[in-house]
Amino acid sequence: MKYKEYVVKRLILLIPVMFGVSLLSFVLSNAVGDPIASYVGQSDDKISEERMAQLRHQLGLDQPWYVQYSRYLGRLLQGDLGESASYNPPLPVLEVIVIRFPATAELSVFSLIIAILVGIPLGIISAIKKDKVPDHMSRIAALSGVSMPIFWLGLMLQVVLFNVNNVLDNSAIGFQFPYHERWTRNDYPQPTSILFGMVPASGFMLLDSILFLPADFPILDSVNTSFLMFIDVLLHLFPPAFCLSWLQMALFTRMTRMSMLETMRQDYILLAKSKGLTERIIIYRHALRNAIIPTLTVAGLSLAGLLTGTVLTETVFSWPGLGRWAVNAVANLDLAAIQGFVLVAAILYVLSNLGVDLLYGFIDPRIRYD
């Protein structure tokens, strides 16, 4: 009962925050240049003053700001976020988000998985071998991770892959590391499955490549094609995901190490030792379970870092996701797109924070809500 009340309270507290977020994004995007200019297109386009005034009136830009804002809110509630002028012809922002979100989500989720798979074991090793060589190594790795400008890491990664590629190529191994997307999302094949017929593309390339089973081919060939595509997508996904996961990996390592050490200092570990249990059993049965809870819960919090990271990573690797769209939108003075992106980012961020808080309460029943 108390938990439910707590959830409701947290949800109610969200309302003013989301209101403020919409206001802020409205103010910010209206401060970017002249909306008319962006609406018309090229700024050196000559448009008569009357036409400008007419357009202003049409768009309601001659109204006071609060009227404009309330209209904006009204549209927002109907799910109308305007049209992104970065596309030609302009696409509705919501549609762009729907199109581009899978790319970002795929990248983020994949890098989160890498971060968890590498970061947590590293943190555990670090805690177990405290003040020994592995600990120092992983601490240095973690520190360098949180200090790394990831756009730089991305570029350096490309240099390294390029050279590896050249070396392998020259030594006639013939294996090519891909380091750049080969398909753009516009021209990659629609998944057609033998079993299900035409399947709408989900936008998640890993998924689509598995579903892609061209029906005209013999089954073996089509499975083979699908598999090759999957490997190809995976190899293309890996470099940017690795780059993006670097920071998260560092955070997970540090967090796991800290919470492991904290747990190892707990009294029940002492009791376990006094029972005569071996170090192994103590770590894996008694300590790990307790240490992993905060780490996993806070994994949700790292979504903010991922969102920030995607902006830079997608720019460096030309990944067709939300982040690069946002950077382009700012360069192109695409008001609606900026508003849309900022809103989406804020909503994702706030919801993930909320989710983490709620999850924490769910996992650990000892927490009380007063």
Partner 1 sequence: MTSVIDQDQEKILKIRGLRVHFYTFEGVVKALDGITFDVFKGESLGLVGETGCGKSVTVRSIMRLIEEPGKIVEGEIDYHGKDILTMKDKEVRRIRGKKIAMIFQDPMTFLNPVLRVGDQVSEVFLLHQEIPEAKRSDGKIDKKKLKGLLRTKVTDIFKIVRLPDVEELYDRYPHELSGGMRQRVMIAMAIASNPDIMIADEATTALDVTIQAQILDLLNDLKDELRTTLIFVTHNLGIIANMCDRVIVLYGGQIVEVAETVELFQKSIHPYTRGLLKAIPLIHRPKRELDAISGVVPNLVTPPEGCRFHPRCYMAAENPEIKERLCVKERPDPYEYFPGHFVACHVRRLERVDEDAGLKPETVYEKIETQ
Partner 2 sequence: MQSGFEYDVDIYDEEIPSEVFSFKESLRARFRELRHSVSLLKRSPLFIFGFFTIMFLVALAVFAPFITNFGPSEFAIDDILHVNYIKQPPGWRDKVTKQIAWSEINDLSTDFGIDPNLAVRSCIVDLNNDSLEDILVGTNSSQLLFYENIGSDDPVNPNKWTLSSTLTFPTIPENITGLVSPAAGDINNDSVTDVVIGGNDGKIYQTLNNGTPGSPEWTDFSLMYDIDGEELRYAGQAHPTLVDYNHDNQTDLVIGSSDYAIDVYLWEYDVFQRAWGFELQSNMPKDIKNRKLSLDGSYGSGGEWVDTPLGSGSVRVNFIHIKPDSVKYWDIAVIFDSGDYEFFTATDIVSNPNYVMLDKSKPSARFDFPIVEAEISFDFLFYDYIIDVSAGNITFETEVNQSEFIEGGENQTEIIKLSRLLEFKPGGTVVYSFQFLEEDGRVHYFGTDQQGGDIYSRCIWALQTDLILAIWVVAIAVVIGTIIGAIAGYFGGWIDQLIMRITDVFFAFPGLILAMAIAAALGRSMFNLSIALIAVWWAGYARIARGQVISEKSRLYVEAARAVGLGNSRIIFRHVLPNSIYPLLVAATLDLGGVVLTAAGLSFIGFGANPGDAELGRMIADGRDYFIKSPWLVFFPGFFIFLIVLAFNLIGDGIRDVMDPKLRR
Show contacts with partner 2 in window 138-157 (CB under 8 A): 143-144, 146-152, 155-156
Q: Which of 1, 12, 16, 79 binds partner 2 (CB under 8 A)?
A: 16
Note whether 73 binds partner 2 by CB under 8 A.
no
Residue 52 binds partner 1 (CB under 8 A): no
Query: Which of residues 12, 45, 78, 220 is near partner 2 by CB under 8 A?
Result: 45
Q: How far is CA 13 from CA 27, 110, 263, in A?
A: 22, 32, 33
44 or 276: whose CB is closer to partner 2?
Answer: 44
Cα–Cα–Cα angle for 217, 221, 226, nearest 5°? 100
- Answer for the pair 309, 112: CB distance below 8 angstroms, yes or no: no
Q: How far is the CB of 280 from partner 2 (least distance, A)?
A: 25
**Beta carbon nearer to partner 1, 51 or 265:** 265
Q: Is 17 in the site for partner 2 (CB under 8 A)?
A: yes
CB of 332 to partner 2, least distance (A): 5
Q: Which amino acid is at 142?
A: A
State the minimum distance, in angstroms, from the CB of residue 365 to partner 1: 8
Burial tier of 38 (Cβ tally within 10 Å: 0-12, 13-18, 19+): middle
Per-residue burial over 215-249, b if 16 or more Cβ lie within 10 Å, else e, is: eeeeeeebeebbeebbeebeebbbbbbbbbbbbbb
Angle between helices 335-363 and 93-128 (to 10 degrees): 40
CA distance linking residue 235 with residue 242, whole number of Å: 11
| C-beta closer to partner 1: residue 282 or 345 | 282
Environment class of 110 (CB within 10 Å of its CB; exposed 0-12, middle 13-18, buried 19+): buried
Judge contact between 130 and 238, C-beta under 8 A.
no
Binding span for partner 2 by CB under 8 A among 96-104, 168-176, 193-201, 226-234: 168-176
Query: What CA–CA distance (Å, rounded) separates 27 from 25?
Result: 5
Copy the structure tokens of residue 37.
Answer: 């200019």
Q: Which of residues 93-132 bind partner 1 (CB under 8 A)?
A: 130
Closest separation between CB of residue 276 and partner 2, Å? 26
Question: What is the phi/psi pair of residue 34, to 5°?
Answer: -100, 120
**Binding to partner 2 in span 181-220, by CB under 8 A:** 182, 187
Query: For partner 1, which is the closer residue by CB, 46 or 280?
Result: 280
| Count helices and strands in the chain by DSSP H and E runs | 15, 4
Stretch that binds partner 2, among 35-43, 114-122, 286-294, 358-366 (CB under 8 A): 35-43
Residue 34 interface partner, choices partner 2, partner 1, none, CB cut-off 5-8 Å depending on type: partner 2
Interface residues for partner 1 in 246-305 (CB under 8 A)?
Answer: 265-268, 270-278, 281, 285-286, 289-290, 293
Of 97 and 272, CB closest to partner 1: 272
Nearer to partner 1, 143 or 270 (CB): 270
Q: What is the DSSP letter of 172?
A: T
Taking the C-alpha atoms of residue 178 and residue 233, their distance in angstroms, rounded to an integer, is: 9
- Residue among 24 and 59 whose Cβ is closer to partner 2: 24
Residue 311, interface with partner 2 (CB under 8 A)? Answer: yes
Q: Which residues bind partner 1 (CB under 8 A)?
A: 130, 265-268, 270-278, 281, 285-286, 289-290, 293, 365-366
